[in-house]
């Protein structure tokens, strides 16, 4: 629960969605933080939400599909543009849900 709270608190203070989810669970150097920022705001492959992009990096490969599907079910989609324009899910909610799923799928 502490890591989830840390992710939510650091979002936009100073981190992007991808950076905050990743940094809540793992130390990230400047190079990794730059890569994560470049994959935030729907800029990740397939237009993924940055929060779920980072979450995918933090769970084992065999759990990524399940985690992404659960994220999409919770927020309406896994793609940033659809999350924002169609489902109107706030970014803060995406960060919180992604962090919860990292915690769940990392066990």
Q: What is the average per-residue pLDDT within 13-39? A: 93
Q: What is the average per-residue pLDDT within 48-61? A: 97
| Residue 65 pLDDT > 90 | yes
Confidence label for 26 from pLDDT (cuts 50, 70 and 90): very high
Confidence label for 6 from pLDDT (cuts 50, 70 and 90): confident
Q: Could you give the CA distance from residue 106 to residue 37 in angstroms, rounded to a whole number?
A: 23
| Residue 86 pLDDT > 90 | yes
Closest CA to 70 of 98, 39, 106: 98
Domain boundaries, the chain: 2-105
């Amino acid at each position: 629960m502490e890591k989830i709270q840390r992710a939510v608190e650091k979002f936009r203070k100073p981190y992007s969605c991808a950076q905050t989810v990743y940094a809540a669970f793992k130390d990230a150097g400047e190079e990794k933080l730059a890569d994560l920022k470049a994959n935030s705001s729907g800029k990740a492959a397939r237009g993924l939400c940055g929060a779920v992009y980072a979450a995918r990096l933090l769970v084992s490969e065999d759990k990524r599909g399940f985690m992404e599907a659960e994220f999409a079910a919770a927020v309406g989609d896994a793609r940033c543009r659809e999350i924002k324009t169609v489902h109107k899910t706030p970014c803060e909610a995406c960060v919180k849900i992604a962090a919860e799923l990292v915690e769940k799928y990392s066990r």
